[in-house]
Amino acid sequence: MNIIKRSGMEVPFDAVKIEEAVKKANTSVQEADQLSDSQIRLIADHVTGQCGEMKRSPNVEEIQDMVEEEIMKQKAYKLAANYITYRYKRELVRKSNSTDKQILSLLECSNEEVLQENSNKNPVVNSVQRDYMAGEVSKDITRRFLLPQDIVEAHEKGLIHFHDADYFAQHMHNCCLVNLEDMLQNGTIISETMIERPHSFSTACNIATQAIAQIASSQYGGQSITLSHLAPFVEVSRQKFLNEVRAELAAQNIDADEEMVSSIAEMRVKREIKQGVQMIQYQVITLMTTNGQAPFVTVFMYLDEVPEGRLRDDLALIIEEMLLQRIQGVKNEQGVFITPAFPKLIYVLEEDNIREGTPYWELTKLAARCTAKRLVPDYISEKIMKSLKDGNCYPCMGCRSFLTVYHDEQDKPKFYGRFNQGVVTINLVDAACSSGKDMEKFWSIMDERLELCRRALMCRHERLKGTPSDVAPILWQNGALARLKKGETIDKLLYNGYSTISLGYAGLCECVRYMTGKSHTDPEATPFALEVMEYLNEACRKWAAETNISFSLYGTPLESTTYKFAKKLQDRFGMIPGVTDKNYITNSYHVHVTEPINAFDKLTFEAQFQELSPGGAISYVEVPDMQDNIEAVLAVMQHIYEHIMYAELNTKSDYCQVCGYDGEIRIIEDEHKKLIWECPHCGNRDQNKLNVARRTCGYIGTQFWNQGRTQEIRERVMHL
C-alpha cells in the first residue's frame, strides 16, 4: 500500500510514522492526558485498516484526518487539540512555499499526480516540465490573486472544477474551429513570414500543419480543421500536372491524346494526395508544441460540405487516403506500426454513404475498417445533427466541444474562425450527497453551486476582455480566427454568440442513483435525470440573456479530474455504495461503465441526453476486437446515423515491445494494491516498453492515466 505525499510523490505506507507522530504530540500534554503505548498502536492499526479499505493511495491529509478521529475516539481531547493546532501551524508554513516544492517535485519526476495528469504528455521531457512549471506558477497566481477566495475553495473541495488554471494567468482561450479556408485562399503570416495562396495540394497541406503547430501554442484546448478546405487545391495540382505532362510529352515528340494526358496527370495527383496526407499525419504526430505535446487536432471528413461533382470526388480521394494511412498506423521505436493519438478523425455519416449502393458506401466501409483497427474515426450523424443544430452539420472543437449556431452579417451560418472561452464544471454528485436526499434542499444547493459556476465563468470571460490581437497574431490577425488590426482587442468576438463559454457537468449517473436509489437508465429515474439536465440548460439560457454571452451546457471529459472529484467525495461523504465507492465518477450523462447494456440500447438511451448537452457531448460503446467483424461495426454506424448525433466505438490497440505481443495489455493490482499495466504474455510491467492506446475522454490517450481513470478503464463492460 502506498501514500501520496504533499509534494505529489507516491511512497510506501509506513504505520510506524503514524505512531511516531502521535507519540510526539503525546509529549505536548500532561501525563494525565497522555495515551498509553497500546492506545497509540491501536490508533495506528485502525488508520492502517481504513487506508487499506480505500482501494487507492490515500494522501497525507486524509491520513492525518483519520488520526485526529482516532485520537478523539480515545477521548484524548487535549491531545487532539494540540495535534490539530500543530497541523494548522505547519499548514501556514507550507502555504508560503508549496509552489516551490511542487516545481521541484516536477523536475525530479516524483510528483505522481502530475506524472499521470495528461495521458498525452510525457512528464520527463524538458518541454513538458517547463510547461508544468509555468502551470504551477499560473495556478499559484490564480489562487492568490485572480479568483475570488470562495471560488478557489469550492474548486479545492471538489464542488466545482475551474479547468485549466495552469493557463489562466495568460490571456488564452480554450478551443477553436480553424478557418483554414481563409488562411489558404487569402494568404496568412506565420512567424512574421508572408504565406501566399498555395500552388499545389502538398503545399497547402504543409501550410496547414505549420498553422496547426502555431495555433496549438497560442491556446490550451483542441482545434479542428476540415479536409474540405484542402480539397480545392487538388484541382490546382491537377491543372499543374496536366500542363507538365503535355509539355513533357511534346518535348519527347510523343503524340498523345487528352485521355492519355489526363491518365498520367491523375496518377501524379493521387501520388501528391498520398504525400500531402502523409505530411499532415506525420507532422501532427512529430510536432511538439510549447506545452510539450503533439497538437490536439481533429480532422473533419464531411463529403456534403462541398458541392457535388469533381470537388466532392477529390475530397473523397483525400478522405480515402487519410483512412488508409491511419489503418497502417505509425512506427514506434521498434519499427512496429502502432495506433497514434492524433490527429483525431471524425467521419460524417450521410445519405450518400450510409447504405450499400450509395455513392460513397465503399468509403464508409473503409472507415469501419479503420475504427476496428485504430479506434478512429468517430462518427457524426448528419441527419441527427441537422435536426438539432438548425439544419447545420459541423465539427466539434477538439474532442466534444460544439459551438452554438451563429449567423454572420450576411445571415449565413458561420462556424470556422470561432472559439470557446473556457469551462467550469459542476460536480453533480457532490450537490446530491450534500442534500442528504432532500429534494428541496438538492435544488437549493444546485442554485448555490450554479451561482459559483456563473461567477467563475465570468472570471474567465473578464480575463479575456481587453486582450489585444497582438498576443497571438496567427489567431486574431492572420485568419485562423479573425483578421483584427494590430492593437485591436478581441472583445467584439466575446459577445453576440460569436464564441461560447461552457458550463460543464459531471456525474449525472451517480447523482441520480443517490437521489432516487436507481440508475438513470431505470424508467422511474430517467425523468429526474432529464430534469437535472434541463435545469442546467435553463441556467445557461438565463445567463446568456443577462450578458449577451453564449453560455452553453457541456458534458465534461473528465481525465485527471475524475480522480480528484472521487477522492473529495470520499473525504466528505465516505463510501456510499454505487455513488462514491469508486475512484472515479462517470463522465457527463454516460451510462455507468459497469452497467450491462447493449450497444444499440446505450446509444439510443444517451441520445436524449446528448440533445440536452448542446455545448458538447459524445457517446461511446465498448467493443472487443472487431477487425474480423466489420459488418457489426457498420451496423453500429448505421444505428448512430439514425439515432444519435455524435458517437464512437472503443476497442483496444496495444503492443508489448519486450515480446511483441499485440493483444490487449491488461490492468492488474500490484503488491501495493496499485493498478498497473502488464503484458499477459511475458509479464512486462515497464510502461516505457508498452504501447497502450485507450480512448478515455473522447480522444485517444497513449501516456497512461491516473489511478482513478485506470480503474474506470479496467471496469468497463462490453456493449457488443
Q: Provide the mean pLDDT of the chain.
A: 91
637 is catalytic: no
Confidence band of 9 (pLDDT split at 50, 70, 90) = low
Residue of 22, 61, 25 lying closest to 44 (CA atoms): 22
629 is catalytic: no
pLDDT of residue 610: 97
- Are 710 and 587 spatial neighbours (Cβ–Cβ below 8 Å)? no
Catalytic residue among 138, 420, 434, 478: 420
Q: Does 392 map to a domain?
A: no
Q: Does 27 map to a domain?
A: yes
CA 237 to chain centre: 37
Please tell me whether residues 56 and 152 are part of one structural domain.
Answer: no
Q: Does 618 map to a domain?
A: no
Residue of 615, 669, 675 lying closest to 645 (CA atoms): 615
pLDDT of residue 605: 98
Whether residue 85 is predicted with pLDDT greater than 60 in this model: the reply is: yes
pLDDT of residue 509: 98
Q: Residue 84 is which amino acid?
A: I
Confidence band of 117 (pLDDT split at 50, 70, 90) = low
Q: Average pLDDT of 140-163?
A: 93
Strand duo 666-669 + 675-678: pairing: antiparallel
Sign of the dihedral defined by the CA atoms of residues 396, 401, 402, 406, in that order = negative
Residue at which a domain ends, from 586, 605, 633:
586
Please tell me whether residues 529 and 572 are part of one structural domain.
Answer: yes
Pinpoint the alpha helices (H) of 329-438. 361-374, 382-388, 428-435
Q: Hey, what's the cell of 475?
A: 489567431
Please tell me whether residues 423 and 462 are part of one structural domain.
Answer: yes
Could you report how far apart the first and last alpha carbons of the chain are, in Å? 36
Catalytic residue among 62, 136, 559, 622: 559
Query: Cα(552)–Cα(418) distance, rounded to whole angstroms?
Result: 14
CA angle 23, 27, 28 (to 5 degrees): 120
Q: Hey, what's the cell of 476?
A: 486574431
Confidence band of 90 (pLDDT split at 50, 70, 90) = low
Hey, is 532 helix, strand or coil? Answer: helix
Please tell me whether residues 152 and 126 are part of one structural domain.
Answer: no
420 is catalytic: yes
Q: Average pLDDT of 117-140?
A: 66
- Are 431 and 445 spatial neighbours (Cβ–Cβ below 8 Å)? yes
Catalytic residue among 9, 176, 370, 399: 399
Strand duo 646-650 + 619-622: pairing: parallel
Number of domains in the chain: 2
Catalytic residue among 174, 228, 353, 587: 174
CA angle 706, 645, 558 (to 5 degrees): 15
Whether residue 495 is predicted with pLDDT greater than 70 in this model: the reply is: yes
Domain that holds residue 142: 2-146
pLDDT of residue 398: 84
109 is catalytic: no
Place of cell 477522492: 567
Between 144 and 124, the higher pLDDT residue? 144
Whether residue 110 is predicted with pLDDT greater than 60 in this model: the reply is: no
DSSP 8-state code for residue 136: H
Please tell me whether residues 153 and 115 are part of one structural domain.
Answer: no
Q: Hey, what's the cell of 403?
A: 459551438
Sign of the dihedral defined by the CA atoms of residues 117, 120, 126, 132, in that order = negative
Q: Does 671 map to a domain?
A: no
Q: Does 664 map to a domain?
A: no
HSE at residue 479, side-chain half, CA atoms within 13 A, is 20
Hey, is 504 helix, strand or coil? Answer: strand
Query: Cα(560)–Cα(567) distance, rounded to whole angstroms?
Result: 11
Whether residue 104 is predicted with pLDDT greater than 70 in this model: the reply is: no
Q: Does 98 map to a domain?
A: yes
Whether residue 89 is predicted with pLDDT greater than 70 in this model: the reply is: no
Beta strands in 144-209 (DSSP E): 160-162, 176-177, 188-190, 193-195
Please tell me whether residues 501 and 434 are part of one structural domain.
Answer: yes
CA-to-CA dists, residue 608 to 507, 541, 672, angstroms: 16, 19, 42
Please tell me whether residues 161 and 24 are part of one structural domain.
Answer: no
Q: Hey, what's the cell of 714?
A: 479496467
Residue of 592, 596, 597 lying closest to 581 (CA atoms): 592
Catalytic residue among 26, 57, 105, 401: 401
Place of cell 479530474: 561
Enclosing H/E stretch for 649:
strand 646-650
Beta strands in 187-237 (DSSP E): 188-190, 193-195, 223-226
Query: Cα(106)–Cα(310) distance, rounded to whole angstroms?
Result: 53
Hey, is 430 helix, strand or coil? Answer: helix
Angle between helices 15-26 and 77-107 (to 10 degrees): 130
Hey, is 523 helix, strand or coil? Answer: coil
Whether residue 53 is predicted with pLDDT greater than 90 in this model: the reply is: no
Hey, is 194 helix, strand or coil? Answer: strand
Q: Residue 607 is which amino acid?
A: A
Whether residue 125 is predicted with pLDDT greater than 70 in this model: the reply is: no
Considering only 128-142, 160-174, 361-375, which range has the smallest mean pLDDT? Answer: 128-142
Please tell me whether residues 155 and 125 are part of one structural domain.
Answer: no
Dihedral angle, C-alpha 227, 233, 237, 240, nearest 10 °: 170
Confidence band of 390 (pLDDT split at 50, 70, 90) = very high
Q: Does 716 map to a domain?
A: no
Q: Hey, what's the cell of 187?
A: 494568404
Residue of 537, 515, 702 lying closest to 608 (CA atoms): 537
Whether residue 64 is predicted with pLDDT greater than 90 in this model: the reply is: no
| Percentage of the chain exceeding pLDDT 90 | 70
- 325-337 per-position pLDDT tens digit: 999 998 888 898 9
- 357-380 per-position pLDDT tens digit: 999 999 999 999 999 999 999 999
CA-to-CA dists, residue 125 to 267, 705, 707, 714, angstroms: 42, 17, 22, 28
CA 705 to chain centre: 12
51 is catalytic: no
Q: Hey, what's the cell of 275?
A: 504525400
- 260-277 per-position pLDDT tens digit: 999 999 999 999 999 999
Catalytic residue among 398, 417, 479, 698: 698
Catalytic residue among 322, 397, 459, 697: 397
Residue at which a domain ends, from 128, 146, 164:
146
Please tell me whether residues 31 and 153 are part of one structural domain.
Answer: no
CA-to-CA dists, residue 352 to 234, 355, 632, angstroms: 22, 8, 20
Dihedral angle, C-alpha 141, 145, 151, 152, nearest 10 °: 40
Residue at which a domain ends, from 127, 146, 165:
146
656 is catalytic: no
Please tell me whether residues 480 and 576 are part of one structural domain.
Answer: yes
DSSP 8-state code for residue 468: B
DSSP 8-state code for residue 145: I
Whether residue 435 is predicted with pLDDT greater than 80 in this model: the reply is: yes
Catalytic residue among 175, 370, 396, 645: 175
Q: Does 57 map to a domain?
A: yes
Query: Cα(243)–Cα(246) distance, rounded to whole angstroms?
Result: 5
Confidence band of 413 (pLDDT split at 50, 70, 90) = very high
Query: Cα(37)–Cα(18) distance, rounded to whole angstroms?
Result: 12
Whether residue 514 is predicted with pLDDT greater than 80 in this model: the reply is: yes
CA angle 503, 509, 511 (to 5 degrees): 75
Torsion angles phi and psi, residue 8, rounded to 5: 100, -10
Query: Cα(76)–Cα(74) distance, rounded to whole angstroms?
Result: 5
CA-to-CA dists, residue 65 to 56, 71, 84, 129, 637, angstroms: 16, 10, 9, 32, 50
Neighbours of 27 (CB within 10 A): 10
Neighbours of 64 (CB within 10 A): 18
pLDDT of residue 140: 82
Query: Cα(240)–Cα(246) distance, rounded to whole angstroms?
Result: 10
Please tell me whether residues 426 and 562 are part of one structural domain.
Answer: yes
- Are 103 and 57 spatial neighbours (Cβ–Cβ below 8 Å)? no
Considering only 108-122, 346-360, 470-484, 527-541, which range has the smallest mean pLDDT? Answer: 108-122
Please tell me whether residues 124 and 152 are part of one structural domain.
Answer: no
Q: Hey, what's the cell of 175?
A: 478551443
Q: Which long-range contacts (CB under 8 A, 24 or more apart) does 307-311 make?
A: 310/235, 311/231, 311/232, 311/235
- Are 403 and 177 spatial neighbours (Cβ–Cβ below 8 Å)? yes
CA-to-CA dists, residue 97 to 10, 129, 135, 156, 319, angstroms: 20, 19, 16, 18, 53
- Are 562 and 584 spatial neighbours (Cβ–Cβ below 8 Å)? yes
Query: 572: buried, middle or exposed (CB in 10 Å: 19+, 13-18, 0-12)?
Result: middle
CA 282 to chain centre: 22
Query: Cα(397)–Cα(416) distance, rounded to whole angstroms?
Result: 10
401 is catalytic: yes
